[in-house]
Amino acid sequence: MLARRIIPCLDVREGRVVKGVQFKNHEDVGGILDLALRYRDAGADELVFYDITASVDNRSVSPDWVKKVSEVLDIPFCVAGGIKTVEAAGARLAAGADKISINSPALMNPELITEMSDAFGQQCIVVGIDSFEDGGTYRVRSHTGDPNKQRETGRETLAWVKEACQRGAGEIVLNCMNQDGVRKGYDIRQLAAVREVCPVPLIASGGAGEIKHFKDVFEQANVDGALAASVFHKNIIPIPTLKSDLSKSGIAIRL
């Protein structure tokens, strides 16, 4: 049976892993390779590396660290941040990334999803969506790496999920911004609504604070994977304990 995935997210800034609360006030949590190996050993199913400053500063992620991560890891990993062209995506895949994830560049140029999907296959193109609830409507924001450059896109989340999938996204990572970093639980209602319209694998992001939150999001929103950062970086939830507890609850988990 296909296992639900536990995915630590490593926000990368200037070659270090950082974590902020609601995308602000970043603190240093460690080196890229150290954390990659720590999570691999702990039983992470996959890793996501987001270069959180790349989009806003108009930079690209360094393929150097992508290659180093690929050399040491024997689990899949995804690279995100500042990937705006088919060539940039290709360079990261060639360096060993299994998937690339695009967010703000896809919003500015949705055709990019199709171009990348045609060039490398749907399976390695992930579309990340930062969604914010506003008066009962879910709306997409872009350039969320910097609070001063963050903007409303005028797009509704459900419509953007559908469009991204039609254009060739192979997976959706939905980051529910109201929940991010505050550890009050995933936004089950929003994720369940997105699940209804999302034909590709869906990954929940934002809000994990305790083991029950993971159980709830798998059982109630039927997501394929759950992504989290601070609870893993700060060892509030040890991954082996999380996976063993979920497995005992009857959720399909790779132990």
d(CA 183, CA 31): 23
CB of 92 to other proteins, least distance (A): 9
d(CA 206, CA 169): 21
User: Is 108 in contact with 153 (CB distance < 8 Å)?
Assistant: no
Residue 123: CB atoms within 10 Å: 13
Residue of 45, 98, 130, 224 marked catalytic: 130
Query: Which residue lies nearer to other proteins by CB, 89 or 177?
Result: 89
Query: Which residue lies nearer to other proteins by CB, 121 or 147?
Result: 121
- Whether 118 is catalytic is no
- Whether 45 is catalytic is no
Query: Which residue lies nearer to other proteins by CB, 177 or 198?
Result: 198
CB of 184 to other proteins, least distance (A): 27
User: Is 99 in contact with 171 (CB distance < 8 Å)?
Assistant: yes
Backbone angles phi, psi at 157, to 5 degrees: -60, -50
CB of 2 to other proteins, least distance (A): 5
Residue of 11, 45, 51, 180 marked catalytic: 11
Q: Quote the crossing angle between the two packed helices 188-197 and 211-221, to the nearest 10°.
A: 30
Query: Which residue lies nearer to other proteins by CB, 212 or 254?
Result: 254
End-to-end CA distance of the chain: 13
CB of 84 to other proteins, least distance (A): 17
Q: List interacting residues with other proteins (CB under 8 A).
A: 1-5, 45-46, 67, 70-76, 90, 93-99, 118-124, 170-171, 198-202, 224-225, 254
Active site residues: 11, 130
